[in-house]
Structure 1
Amino acid sequence: MKEKIQFFRIKDIPDLELYRTSSVARSVPRHIHCVFSLSVGEAGVGLHETKLGKYYITPGSIVVVNADTTHSSSVPSGYTYSSRSIRIDTVLLGSLMQEISGQKHDILALKQPVIYNQMLAQQILGLHTLLAGSASRLEKECLLLDTLAKLYTHYSCEGIKPVTMGDERTPVSRVCEYLQDCFNENVSLDQLASIAGLSAFHLAHVFTKEIGVPPHTYQLQVRLKKATDLLAYGKPLVEAALETGFCDQSHFQKAFKKKFGISPGQYKW
């Protein structure tokens, strides 16, 4: 198979980039990134080298490259390597980690260059797919924070811990009301956090604790309910999708069928 390298920028999160490599067989000499890089092997075998040693990368291996860390990569003879990567600007990373822990951190390095944790690897791959797709901004931000929290809680050099949750029923109620009133807005987690008077990470977790689902799932349920109302009044499918905040009809149809078991067209007619 021919080598393929894809690059994506995320409109809703401009300081974050995605890469996907397929069937790569070339070597990359020693270099550094000025950003934090998180990769997961998807197929084949790769070789990652830092001052701490050489590591063979197989499917499910998580490769961590802290900002300004010298490293190189290669592929053993006779093999190819495929992976997905998420690169995060250090200023954005610092801001996200402050949201998670409730305090500023001078060191945001992870201890291990390579992590073997299949559940976390699958979550990172799922995050990559979500970020590259048409999911809402809110869903992307919630999963990004949750993934970083799990990663840094277990593998950070500083022993970063998430903030402690309390009883936040009143702030959560305000957020629910906002999502019901402004269901068609591509709202960010920071906007909801401002309404609640909490950090974004804290809100995401207390919201799930109080309501039973995360903010983006609640938002989706509200949108789908509004969409059924519009369809019942004879709105065309495309208009119903756009007026309820879905970025395209494909995303609307997929979410609708997953929720109700039938397509919007079947519901309408």
Structure 2
Amino acid sequence: MPHVELRKIQDARQVCYAPHSHAHWSLGAVTAGVSTFRYRDASHQIRAGDLVMMNPHWVHACNPIANQPWAYLMLYVDARWMSELRYGLGLLPAPEWQDIATAVIRRPSLFHSFCEMAGGLLDEQVAIERKRQAVTAYLTTLMSELAEEPPLAPAPTPELLAQVADYLRTHCARDISLEELSQQTGYSTGHLIRAFKQHYGLTPHAYLIDQRIQLGQAVLRQGQPIVEAALTAGFNDQPHFQRTFKRLVAATPHQYRAPSFKK
């Protein structure tokens, strides 16, 4: 099931994230305790029984409150696969990603069904076909229920900022200076930093690093050794890659590529 990853954290007090984003769509369940969920420019207090959702490329962070215990499950789903599922259900006009407005869901039936589905994914005795069916069935139910809510009106993205973001994603493995980006846009470096962060939630440099880590995750999933993944993702050395990876993913590259981390 290459389109799905599942992460289980039983004691998240020491699991802290810097603001970051994912190329995939994410769905999480708080299974114990409380936490602060920062999602773009909003902040949510979440607790056991809550579900949270994150659109691809939306900056977020979810961290403990004053060292209080909490635990969670997080499902990461390939955005293209998810778009095709929604399109097949008649919920999208085309099999292309459309952002979801909802950030937090408080419906016990959906929460318990999610935990049951996640338990099956973590069970090594469950056949892969049953796991695939369980994920598809759950997401079908969830998307069908969310379809009753108003769709999210997409915020317009200034063309020059969109070009900068696309350039950073495409060329993230090499060094890109603010001066280079300023020449492309005609913005001063100060104006570029402010405008980009206001729209994307990260400075251009932070966005570049975030894209490098996403690239590192992708090549690790493909089986590339950590030292090669570091170079592929644009890092000069493995220790720098590992420190940055841990800060954004809250796991080391070795932990991330371990069979027990991904299902």
Segments of 5+ residues of structure 2 without an aligned counterpart are 152-263
Match of 1:145 among 136, 148, 157: 136
* Deviation by residue 1:167-186 (Cα, 9 ceiling, x = unmatched): xxxxxxxxxxxxxxxxxxxx
- Amino acid in structure 1 at the alignment position of 2:116: G
Report the counterpart of residue 15 of structure 1 in structure 2: 3
> Per-residue deviation at 1:135?
2.0
- Amino acid in structure 2 at the alignment position of 1:109: D
Report the counterpart of residue 145 of structure 2 in structure 1: 154
Match of 1:30, SS? coil
Higher strand share: 1
Q: Hey, what's the Cα distance between the residues in 2 that align with 1:138 and 1:43?
A: 30
Match of 2:19, SS? strand
* Deviation by residue 1:72-118 (Cα, 9 ceiling, x = unmatched): 12111140220011101112212322333386343332211111111
Q: Hey, what's the Cα distance between the residues in 2 that align with 1:97 and 1:144?
A: 13
Percent identity between the two aligned chains: 16
Segments of 5+ residues of structure 1 without an aligned counterpart are 1-12, 160-269
- Amino acid in structure 2 at the alignment position of 1:129: G
Match of 2:82 among 93, 104, 124: 93
The structure whose RCO (Cα within 8 Å, separation 6+) is larger is 2
Alignment of 1:103-118 (within 5 A): 104-118=94-108
- What's the TM-score once normalised by structure 2's chain length? 0.51
> Per-residue deviation at 1:120?
0.3
Contact 2:79 2:97 in 1 (8 A): no
> Per-residue deviation at 1:136?
2.6
Alignment of 1:28-47 (within 5 A): 28-47=17-36
Contact 1:22 1:81 in 2 (8 A): yes
Report the counterpart of residue 132 of structure 1 in structure 2: 122
Alignment of 1:54-203 (within 5 A): 54-101=43-90, 104-133=94-123, 134-156=125-147
Highest Rg: 1 or 2?
1
Contact 2:11 2:70 in 1 (8 A): yes
Q: Hey, what's the Cα distance between the residues in 2 that align with 1:70 and 1:136?
A: 35
Q: Hey, what's the Cα distance between the residues in 2 that align with 1:95 and 1:135?
A: 25
Alignment of 1:213-252 (within 5 A): none
Cα 1:137–1:153 change in 2 (3 A) is: same
- Amino acid in structure 2 at the alignment position of 1:122: H
Q: Which aligned runs of 4 or more in structure 1 are off by greater than 3 angstroms?
A: 156-159
Contact 2:26 2:76 in 1 (8 A): yes
Match of 1:122, SS? helix
Q: RMSD between aligned alpha carbons?
A: 2.1
Which stretch of the first structure deviates more once superposed, 27-36 or 107-116?
Answer: 107-116
- What's the TM-score once normalised by structure 1's chain length? 0.50
Q: Hey, what's the Cα distance between the residues in 2 that align with 1:109 and 1:135?
A: 32
> Per-residue deviation at 1:158?
7.3
Match of 1:101, SS? coil
Report the counterpart of residue 48 of structure 1 in structure 2: 37
